[in-house]
Structure 1
Amino acid sequence: MTLQEMDLRGENYSTATGFIILGFSSRLSYQQMLFGLFLIMHLVTLGGHMTIVLVTLVDPALHIPMYFFLRNLSVIEICYTLVIVPKMLANFLAGNHRISLVGCATQMCFFIALGGAECFLLAAMAYDRYVAICNPLRYTLIMSRPLCLQLLTVACTSGFLLSLGLTALIFHLPFCHSHEINHFFCDIPPVLEVACSDTHADEVAVFLVCMLILMVPFLMILASYVLIVASILRIHSAQERRKAFSTCAAHLVVAVLHYGCAIFIYIRPKASYALEQDKVVSLIYTNVTPMLYPAIYSLRNREVQGALRKVWDRIFLL
């Protein structure tokens, strides 16, 4: 690999034209086993989210704001996993784990953009549930289609703009001779680890952007659910209370899984980073939780189950 040798403050460093993704294990037998395991998980994830997209499009009963947001959340999840998993699977089988500088920056940019869009979209979904439960008589008036489209546009645009700025900030840094990334994709903390210059200012900027992407929507979700729970507890009918809780449970579980893993990775001091441990947590939120989301949303949702049966009958009873 060609490296441009330079000297900065008396220290030698190099501007790498690419990186080596170390992944998990160098043993071929483990690589093949992991390839098979994560290929199955990836196919299940894609199949689950594509199913949600399909049923929420074809069933008119699901053409409401709640399922509009759910459909777009699944689209984001599909793109999100496609940014990370195919390259990870290729590395399990390939002897060469290299990724170009541009490829690494592109992967990081789309990963942050889609993850940020998901964070903001989950906040929009919490607002939808708040209006549905706390102001049901005006729900259709407030949650109009133009507002839903505006919320989706703001979520995606905010995610991509913040991602572009953050990626540019990180990749303006010089990188060391040892350009090995101790991770399975180009995530922020391991890429910063191989930077040679002082990264304190960059780490502060990353922290602030992550606070904006993660904590602001998460606090909005918590505030929404405080009001939602207070409203539900005022409902006299136990059956109506259970129904109200059930409409929020899936979204709350997904939000806790998504934000819990992301906050653990990105909003903590650098001194507490443990890349081997972080790889496991990253593996969970890039592979395991996206696979679970369709099941979480459909297992106790009678409307989704009914739509699935209709689609099944149309396909196999023709």
Structure 2
Amino acid sequence: MVASIENNLSMLVNECYLWIGFDRDRMAGYLFEFVSMKNIKYPADALNRGARRLVEFVLLLFAVAAIGVAAKFVEGAFPIQSGPGATPLNWAIRNLSTMCLSMVISLWMLAFIHRGHPMKTLFQVRARMMIGLVAGAVVSIAVAALLVDFEAIRSNGFHPINPRVHPQIWTVTLTAMLLGVLFEELFHRALLQTLISRLFGNEVAGLVGAAAIFTVMHPLKDAVLVIPGALLFGVVFWRTRSVFCTTALHLAMNVTIDLLKGRTLMVSPLLSPEEFAPMKPAIGLALIFLTIAFELGHRRAERRKACYALNDSHATIVASSALL
């Protein structure tokens, strides 16, 4: 079944490849005349492979878009009844749930045709990694904010909404934030970063490309926060391949910043927009340091694993030689 789907996809890519009028032999002839090289078929083959990857990339994006449109069509067939319970957050939760479901189906399709990561890898739970990332993000943001303007934070006071008195506010708000973050991570990291990496054959290209698209889809005034955050999410996904790790990290950052700005979970704002603006560069710098620390920690762990594997293989060889 999988082999037939791969063959059909390859045939579709070839048809689109011929439809756009790309002729490898003709292109090779043009390049031969231009540079007068005998072994011109090698750059022509590279151009051929690049064109095929681009066509496949576009076709897969069209397939993902079609799945999203189908999911919205199904959602429209079951409208939410208007009434006292139909708040804007309820509508947002409904829409975000549909988008997350369409992303999961799209990722399953990519995994099924061997164009993406296995679902078991994407949704693996790495508890220790998640706890460390969440703690690092919360501490980094809080310390950066305190170092910039401790007096403003102390004078305004920390007055969150009591979850025991108003549990529905916390429940609905955090559910909407979780679904929004999950959709962003499924779309930007699991989907776009994977496809862009496959398109260019380079993990760094996928990381940078997905981070750039993520930044463009956010307000320009928050770019000093969004760019370091996008790079941090990209590096974490590159090294862990776990959507749960990036989602937990992303949610922790959003909740921490929401508490600082006092938008939805606070009785009164902890910081005004004027007081929070000078903190953005410091928080962005803290996220860059967190990214570097995570990458260095990952490389150290990989080196340690390699040393352990080398020692185990050496011990096996010594034991085998002793038996002989």
Q: Is the shorter-chain TM-score for this pair beyond 0.5, marking a shared fold?
A: no
TM-score normalised according to structure 1 size = 0.26
Using CA pairs below 8 Å that are at least 6 residues apart, which structure has the higher relative contact order? Answer: 1
Q: Which has the higher helix share?
A: 2
Q: Which has the higher strand share?
A: 1
